[in-house]
């Protein structure tokens, strides 16, 4: 659905403005871990469609709910506490980006909000890293 894609693009634009300076923000995963801090949009979940009103004709008002995963990664040499602290800062920036999406900017969009998050911290040969996944819910209504 164009609604979900357009909302994802609006979220990406808000993410670019919300993440701290020095954080790489990309629409999709780059496959490179050469940046110390990065945020990218991941998988878009299946859309849930539900008729919200009955009326004559082929086009019925439909509620649309979909999910997009926003990923973050922070690598800090030998400092797992610093990496996790920084990734929580990215989580706050993602939540701020969700609040910054103006529903009127996407026809049919009702809201964009973080629904859950998961954080993982580990140490590797590259240093300590913390990874973040925030599941963002996109809700809208189409006719």
Q: Which of 46 and 139 is assigned the larger pLDDT?
A: 139
Domain range for 118 is 2-142
- Measured CA to CA, the distance from residue 110 to residue 85 in angstroms comes to 32
Structure-token match 């602290």, residue found: 85
Phi, psi at residue 23, to the nearest 5°?
A: -95, 125
Q: Work out how many domains the chain is built from and give that number.
A: 1
Q: What is the pLDDT of residues 88-141, one digit of tens each?
A: 999 999 999 999 999 999 999 999 999 999 999 998 877 898 999 999 999 999
Which pair of tokens denotes residue 63? 């509620």
How high is the pLDDT of residue 83? 92
How many C-beta atoms surround the C-beta of residue 44 within 10 A?
16
Do 90 and 21 contact (CB within 8 A), yes or no?
Answer: no
Q: Which of 120 and 30 is assigned the larger pLDDT?
A: 120
Range in 10-14, 53-57, 110-114 with the lowest mean pLDDT: 53-57
CATH number at residue 60: 3.30.2000.10
Q: What is the pLDDT of residues 68-77, one digit of tens each?
A: 999 999 998 8
Quickly list DSSP for 27-39: SS--S---SSEEE
- Residue 117: name the closest of 137, 101, 139 by CA: 137
- Measured CA to CA, the distance from residue 25 to residue 13 in angstroms comes to 10
């Amino acid at each position: 659905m164009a609604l979900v894609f357009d909302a994802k693009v609006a979220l990406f634009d808000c993410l670019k403005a919300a993440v701290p300076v020095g954080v790489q923000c990309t629409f999709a995963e780059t496959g490179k871990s050469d940046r110390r801090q990065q945020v990218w949009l991941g998988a878009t979940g299946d859309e849930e469609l539900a008729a919200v009103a009955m009326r004559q004709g082929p086009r019925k008002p439909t509620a649309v709910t979909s999910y997009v995963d926003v990923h973050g990664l922070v690598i800090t040499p030998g400092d797992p506490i610093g990496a996790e602290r920084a990734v929580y800062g990215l989580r706050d920036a993602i939540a701020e980006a969700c609040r910054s999406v103006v529903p009127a900017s996407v026809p049919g969009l009702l809201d964009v909000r973080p629904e859950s998050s998961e954080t993982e911290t580990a140490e590797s040969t590259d240093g300590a890293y913390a990874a973040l996944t925030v599941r963002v819910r996109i809700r809208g209504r189409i006719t």
